Structure formats: structure tokens, C-alpha cells
Structure 1
Amino acid sequence: MPSVEAGAPGPLTAMSPIRLQFAQKAFIVAGGRLLLVRKAASDPFHPGRWEVPGGRLEVEDDLDLDDHIRREVWEEVGLKIEPGPPFHLWQWFMPDRAAPARGARIRVVAAARRCRPVTVDAVLENQDSGDHLDGCAWVPLERAGSYDLIPSLRPVMRAFLASA
């Protein structure tokens, strides 16, 4: 096997850089209904598709994981929640818009959590422009799997519905 000089580009350094981020998704159920949110037409990855509220951890601002999921749900749908236990872990990759010329990607590792709503009147007024949401709906559990979900959420939804 040929040696590689220290500091010289080798096979691993030739790969596109990957940043790691952590996300949480809230599966909020009230009265036999699950809260889903719809991505707006402006969403760069999944326009018009459905998912559950949640997002990526802000390392310097979120105090802990419960604080993180509460903040995400409040920003996206204006609900107060009581975070419950995680029930599923998964990952996905997405382009890193901070370094598109280099082909950089972000690996997002996510936890799905069952959450109890403290309030139930969902509104989209608090969302950040990067959320790209244009709708939300309380969906009967038996219909939640039939919605056009973002692809990475489909196995998570199956796991959730199988245990609900």
C-alpha cells in the first residue's frame, strides 16, 4: 500500500466535507389526532409535502433537548408542549448551502419524540423564514400515513403508527 505524506491530500480528504447536525421532530397527539405541517411551495427540498414540527438544534442557544423541542414547536406552530420520550432515531443528508461550490453536505441525525400538547390552537405566525411552512392540520391517526410525507419521515411515521 502506498504511503501518504503528512498533510498531503489522500483518498479521504478528496471527499466532499460533511457537517453533523442534530434535529428533533415532535409527534404531538391530541384527541386521536396527530399534528402535521405542510411545506410551502418555496421550500427548496420538499415543496407541498407534509411532516411533523421540529428542527435542528441551536447548539449555543438551546439549554437542553427538552428546551430545543419546545422552541422548535413554538416557532413552527405556536404550541406549548410537554416533551415525551424519543421513540425513533434516523438520519438524512442534505446539501450544505453554506458551501455549495465544494459539494459539501450536512448529515442530520434526528430523534422523534412523543409530545403532549399543553395548548392546541396551532398557528404559523411564529415561524422563521427558513421553516417554509404554509399549513398545518390535526389529522386522525388512521389517516396520517396516507399524507404525502417528506421521504425521510415515512419510516418514522410507520414506526409511530405501529406503536400508537
Structure 2
Amino acid sequence: MPSVEAGTAGPLTALSPIRLEFAQKAFIVSGGRLLLVRKSASDPFHPGRWEVPGGRLEVEDDLDLDDHIRREVWEEVGLKIDPGPPFHLWQWFMPDRADLAGRGQVRVVATARRCRPVTVDATLENQESDDHLDGCAWVPLDEAGTYDLIPSLRPVMRAFLLAAG
């Protein structure tokens, strides 16, 4: 392989740029039910599919990881939670919509956390426009795996339900 001069595009840097982001997902259980949220028809990636509340870390605004998951859950479903321990780590790739050349990707590294609700009256009134949610439901644990989940969440849901017994 030919050598690469400093500052020139080599075999790895010539590839599409990949930006790294961190996300957390909250598995909130109350009375044997798990809170799920449904993506709206306007969601650019998974319209109509279900997932759990959560989102990406705002590096400059979130004080710590507990603050981050609390903020995401509050914004998406209006609940106050007590963050619990992580139980699963995974990743996915998606197009980087901030890359004007349209070649970049975002690698999202995520953790799923068991969370205890402090409040249970879920509402979508606090969501940000880019959350793209149009519904939420407290689903019995034995039915949660039957919902049409976003693909990257399916193995996480299986792990959660296995541990829940």
C-alpha cells in the first residue's frame, strides 16, 4: 500500500465522514406496563413504528447522563423519572442530515436504561418538532414484543423482556 502524506486523504479518510453521537432510551415500567411511543407519519426514518422514549445527548446542555435521560423523557412524554441502570448497549448508522454534501453518516451509540416513573400521566405536549411522535401507550409487558418496533430496537426489546421474565 502506498504511504500517505500528512494532510492528504488516505484510504480511511477518503471514505464518507462519520460523526459519533450518544443516545439513551428509557424503558419505563409501571404496573406491569411499558411505555411505548409511536413515530408520526412525518418521521423521515420510521413512520408509524413504535419505540421507547429517549434521544441523543446534548453535549453542551446536559449536565450528566441522568440529566440527559430525564430531559429526553420529559420532552417526549412529559414524565418525571428516576433513571435506573443501563442493561443494553448497541449502535446504528443513519444519514447525516447536517452534511450538505449528502455523503456523511452518523454512528449512534446507545444505551437502554430501566427507569422508574415518578409521574405516570404521559403527554406529547412537550415534544420538540424533530421528535416526530404522534402517540404513546402503556403496553402490557407480554404484548410489548408484538408491536411494530423500529428495527434497531428489536434486539433491545428482546433483552429487556427476557430479563423482565
Q: Structure 1-normalised TM-score?
A: 0.98
Deviations 1:55-80 (A, max 9, x none): 00000000000000000000000000
Q: Is the Cα contact below 8 Å between 2:29 and 2:117 reproduced in 1? A: yes
| Percent identity over paired residues | 86
SS at match of 1:101: coil
Q: CA deviation at 1:102?
A: 4.1
RMSD (Å), alpha carbons: 0.8
Q: Tell me which residue corresponds to 1:62.
A: 62
1:61-140 matches, cutoff 5 A: 61-140=61-140
1:34 aligns with 2:34: yes
Q: Is the Cα contact below 8 Å between 1:16 and 1:102 reproduced in 2? A: no
Mark the CA change 1:102 to 1:135 in structure 2 (over 3 Å): closer, same or farther: closer
AA in 2 matched with 1:161: L
Q: CA deviation at 1:5?
A: 2.1
Q: Is the Cα contact below 8 Å between 2:34 and 2:138 reproduced in 1? A: yes
Deviations 1:31-53 (A, max 9, x none): 00000000000000000000000
Paired with 1:8 and 1:66, the residues of 2 have a C-alpha distance of 41
Question: What is the total number of aligned residue pairs between the two structures?
Answer: 164
Q: Tell me which residue corresponds to 1:146.
A: 146
1:7 aligns with 2:7: yes
Q: CA deviation at 1:100?
A: 4.5
Paired with 1:92 and 1:64, the residues of 2 have a C-alpha distance of 22
Q: CA deviation at 1:101?
A: 1.9
Paired with 2:102 and 2:7, the residues of 1 have a C-alpha distance of 19
Q: Tell me which residue corresponds to 1:20.
A: 20
Runs of 4+ in structure 1 over 3 Å off: none
Long gaps (5+) in structure 1: none
SS at match of 2:101: helix
